[in-house]
Amino acid sequence: MPSTGPICQWWPECQGICHGDLTPNNALHHVHGLDGLTEDEVLQILGGPITNRIFKGPIGARIADPIKDHDDPHVPQYLVYPVKWQDVDKRFISEQPCLIDLGESFEIAHPPEDLGIPGPYRAPELILDNKMGFGTDLWALGCTLFEIRTGRKLFCAFDDEDDDYLDFMVQVLGKMPEPWWSTTWEARKRLWKDETDEQGRAIPTVADVEEPNPGIRRIIHPSVAQGARSLGEKLNPGLWYLSTDTHRDISQREIEIFSDLLGKLLEYTPEERLSAAAVLDHEWFKL
């Protein structure tokens, strides 16, 4: 997976600077060959804009009500869909990735009071102790590599609440160390028992069993690793890129190697996480 390798070079090269907001949206590819082209030439390469008008929809409106244009000066009249980069000629897209958005970056010796990194990429020490450093970047790197490779978020909470993200971490990564498990995480006792099972996995306080309802048909997208209790099980659904709804299987060999890399980046204790330099030497980057 060489195209993601330069992302891991951030830390050794930055002389004590943490990125603070490492997410897939901030890891991009350069676009080249468009400078000096006319608008028509650019559109011929990228495709014409696809728009969607915005209409007025008052609270309580019914489906049968007539659709009206809105007159709100603070709302655009239409939305423009993103460029479908998968359809763009690859000669206009560089293989060299770059990291952007340094608005959350900080010197390791002078951490901020908090970070604005989104919930799916927040490390447990950031959530529970409000501590940040190279370890939080490495945790975010693990989540980002998973998402770039699979097209799916590793930890995805519907309500975007800290307890929900911590819950998903325990489900996949297992019991947290002390004092987080017994003291710091106040909601833990409501979600997970004190003890673990014979396999060393955390035991939920309430079994996740839903009463069957003949009137409701529950549909779960095949990209969802429902009930996954390990990184390997999270990888099992394969590669799903929902922008095109395409699927590819992932080999058992890659699942084993990639799970090993992710597990070393997602250690609960920040000091035990794999260094960025060691990440680059991992077997997954040699596949």
CA 22 – CA 45 distance, rounded (Å): 30
Measured CA to CA, the distance from residue 279 to residue 287 in angstroms comes to 14
Q: Which residue range(s) make up the domain with 151?
A: 2-36+83-211+226-286
- Integer CA distances (angstroms), 36 to 41, 43, 48, 89, 259, in order: 10, 13, 18, 18, 45
Mean pLDDT on 153-165: 93
- What is the Cβ-side half-sphere exposure of residue 63, based on CA atoms within 13 angstroms? 0
* Token pair for 220: 């779960």
What pTM did the predictor assign?
Answer: 0.85
Residue 232 predicted with pLDDT over 50: yes
- 38-67 average pLDDT score: 82
Position with higher pLDDT, 238 vs 173: 173
Per-residue pLDDT band at 224 (split at 50, 70, 90): confident
Residue 216 is assigned to a structural domain of this protein: no
- Phi/psi-derived region of residue 15, left when phi > 0, alpha when psi is between -120 and 50, beta in every other case: left
Comparison of pLDDT for 63 and 234, the residue scoring more: 234
The answer to whether residue 265 is domain-embedded is yes
**What CATH number has the domain bearing residue 254?**
1.10.510.10
- At 187, the amino acid letter reads A
In a domain? residue 64: no
Please check whether residue 266 lies inside any domain of the structure. Answer: yes
Whether residue 168 is contained in a domain is answered as: yes
97 closest CA partner among 193, 9, 188, 162: 9
With cut-offs at 50, 70 and 90, classify the pLDDT of residue 2. Answer: very low
What separation, in Å, do the N-terminal and C-terminal C-alpha atoms of the chain show?
6
**Residue range 61-86: average pLDDT?**
82
Is 193 a domain residue?
yes
- For residue 21, the tally of other CB atoms under 10 A from its CB is 21
Domain assignment of residue 59, yes or no: no
Q: How many domains does the chain have?
A: 1
Q: Is residue 75 part of a domain?
A: no
Residue for token pair 């990440």: 279
50-64 pLDDT per residue, tens: 999 998 766 555 655
With 0-12 CB in 10 A as exposed, 13-18 as middle and 19+ as buried, what is 99?
middle
Percent of the chain past pLDDT 90, that is, above it, reads 67
Take residue 192 and report the two structure tokens written for it.
Answer: 């997970």
Cβ contact 122:114 at 8 Å: no
